[in-house]
């Protein structure tokens, strides 16, 4: 049995396959996912699992060099923005319009759907290197 923290087999596989500059997206239950993008659906019910809990789990295994957040998060979900910044204090943040974020999902290795029910709880993680 796997000893590390990410035990979901699909999520673990995607993280293991990522290289420098590849992206992985994590988001709320309502984010539309392009047909060609793999969706790893972890949602069980409303707010289970939460966006932050899933993000913490992914960050335990994925080296992240930059993140992309919706510009709208600043005003529509500042509490979530604060939580993201606390988890990734030394990582560059690039704010983009929510519509661009939805379009950029087509380039992500996968989208991880959570049970989160707060607006704009979405992030694109850009993979870094460990050396």
106 is in an annotated binding site: no
Is 109 a catalytic site residue? no
109 is in an annotated binding site: no
Nearest by Cα to 22 from 131, 98, 130, 128? 128
122 is in an annotated binding site: yes
98 is in an annotated binding site: yes
Task: Count CB atoms within 10 A of the CB of residue 93.
Answer: 13
- Cβ partners under 8 Å of residue 36, min gap 6: 106
Among 7, 9, 17, 20, the one annotated catalytic = 20
Residue 6 DSSP SS3:
coil
Which residues are marked as active site?
20
Tell me the binding residues: 28, 98, 120-122
Q: Which residues are annotated as a binding site for substrate?
A: 28, 98, 120-122
């Amino acid at each position: 049995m796997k000893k590390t923290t990410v035990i979901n087999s699909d999520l673990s596989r995607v993280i293991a396959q990522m290289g420098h500059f590849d992206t992985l997206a994590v988001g709320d239950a309502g984010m539309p996912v392009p047909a060609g993008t793999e969706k790893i659906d972890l949602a069980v019910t409303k707010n289970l699992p939460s966006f932050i809990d899933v993000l913490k789990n992914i960050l335990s295994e994925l080296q992240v060099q930059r993140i992309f957040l919706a510009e709208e998060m600043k005003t529509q979900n500042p509490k979530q923005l604060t939580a993201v910044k606390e988890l990734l204090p030394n990582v560059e943040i690039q704010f983009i319009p929510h519509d661009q974020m939805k379009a950029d999902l087509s380039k992500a290795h996968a989208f991880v759907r959570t049970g989160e029910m707060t607006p704009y709880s979405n992030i694109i993680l850009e993979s870094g290197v460990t050396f």
